[in-house]
Amino acid sequence: MIADLARFVAIPTGHNHTPGLETFRAILTARLEALGAKAEVIPGDPRPEWLTESTDRDRAKAFEPPPTVVCRRPIKERPRILLAGHLDTVFDPHGPFQSFTLSPDGRTATGPGVVDMKGGILIALVALEALEKMCIPVSWSFLLNSDEETGSYASDRALRAEAARNDLGLALEPALPDGGLVTERKGSGQFLIEAFGTSAHAGRDFEKGVSAVYALAQAITRCERLCDVSRGLTVNIGPLKGGEATNIVPDYAAAWGNVRFPDSTGADELVRGLESIARSFSEAASGMDRAAGSSAPATPSQEASRHPRIRIRHSIARPAKPVTPRTRQLAETIRSVSEALGAPLPFGTSGGVCDGNNLQEAGLPTLDTLGVKGGGLHTQHEWINIESLVERATMLACVLAELSA
């Protein structure tokens, strides 16, 4: 398993690096087909262009939505179990963090994606191969997408289609730091605030300018008021863009942001809050026109030249994932297996999101932290507990056998 993991980690699969994704996908598909699975490649769907920072627009235009592959080995009269894993990582394929490094004592290792989630994919492969050798019948599908780290826009259709075809879902995200299982997750959404003003020389004609940056700053401070940490509602802003030089009144500024919420009610509240911010700028501009005694309503171009305008676009890509009776029952089954193997399995919650959010919202009871133990996710210190390779592969194989009995 260590040799396999080193091989997987050495394949760069971050930032939609197509050669690496294709290589990794081919290796996994071949191993799953050797177990009798049939593979289907599902084309990816484009994501909204505005999600990409303007500095990366050229890269965004060249972005080809990556496909999803689903390997299926159905067995009649057995529960249909979906395993879900993502091939992509967050790491630059040309960056400094490239290789798998085992610690001197052999207890840990570092590497890009070693925990999130190449280690998780590996334990699922080994579990399925072990069950096959032991002639234990399990009806399974294995979905492997390539854009989970960027919101699963390309693969959302495939995720929802597989949710409808299966009875239970197990995603291979890393375990909690204590080895625990996440039973409840917040939802997540992205948004873009754009401010439009009027450019002018900051010295000669400052009064003729309308600063988009000032308008954006006002909108951002209003976003902060939407936060209610006690209710699990948060709004984060960054990165920002605005202005070309200090002696030019900027006519354009933008900020990208993220919202988190515990349920659909919270999601709706945050969306309404964002929309009200944009609306308030439009209403303020109209009020200023009336106060100035305008004889006729201003056209959009005239309004933009006199007053700042705000546009906010948003996308709720990850619905909240609450505890349901069926996910609670599934979690208790997994816990009983883990305890029978001598490993306590605490339950926890997370503000992070993953494909488990999409699968459960589409109707599939899903638990999504069946992966390995480790830490430092999304950093150049990402590490894995080596012992957890065998431990979690064993647990997953026994869970699959128990669910299929």
pLDDT digit string, tens, across residues 120-145: 999 999 999 999 999 999 999 999 99
Closest CA to 48 of 209, 234, 190: 190
What is the pLDDT averaged over residues 278-298?
Answer: 64
Q: How many CB atoms lie within 10 A of CB 268?
A: 12
What is the pLDDT averaged over residues 137-160?
Answer: 97
Calculate what percentage of the chain has a pLDDT beyond 90. Answer: 89
Q: Is the CB of residue 396 less than 8 Å from the CB of residue 140?
A: no
What was the pLDDT predicted at 284? Answer: 74
Query: Is the entire prediction scored with pTM above 0.85?
Result: yes
What is the pLDDT averaged over residues 17-30?
Answer: 98
- At 327, which helix (H) or strand (E)? helix 325-340
Q: Is the CB of residue 396 less than 8 Å from the CB of residue 389?
A: no
Which one-letter amino acid corresponds to residue 165? R
What is the pLDDT averaged over residues 208-221?
Answer: 96
pLDDT digit string, tens, across residues 64-101: 899 999 999 999 999 999 999 999 999 999 999 999 99
What was the pLDDT predicted at 52? Answer: 76
Residue 160 exposure: Cα atoms within 13 Å on the Cβ side: 13
What was the pLDDT predicted at 286? Answer: 63
Which one-letter amino acid corresponds to residue 328? R
Closest CA to 350 of 232, 185, 116, 151: 185
Place of tokens 């997750």: 185
Mean of the per-residue pLDDT values of the chain: 93
Which one-letter amino acid corresponds to residue 69? V
What was the pLDDT predicted at 53? Answer: 62
Question: What is the set of domains in the chain, with CATH numbers?
Answer: 2-185+322-404 (3.40.630.10), 187-317 (3.30.70.360)
Token couple for 130 = 């072990």
Cα dihedral 118, 121, 125, 127 in deg (nearest 10):
110
Q: How many CB atoms lie within 10 A of CB 64?
A: 11
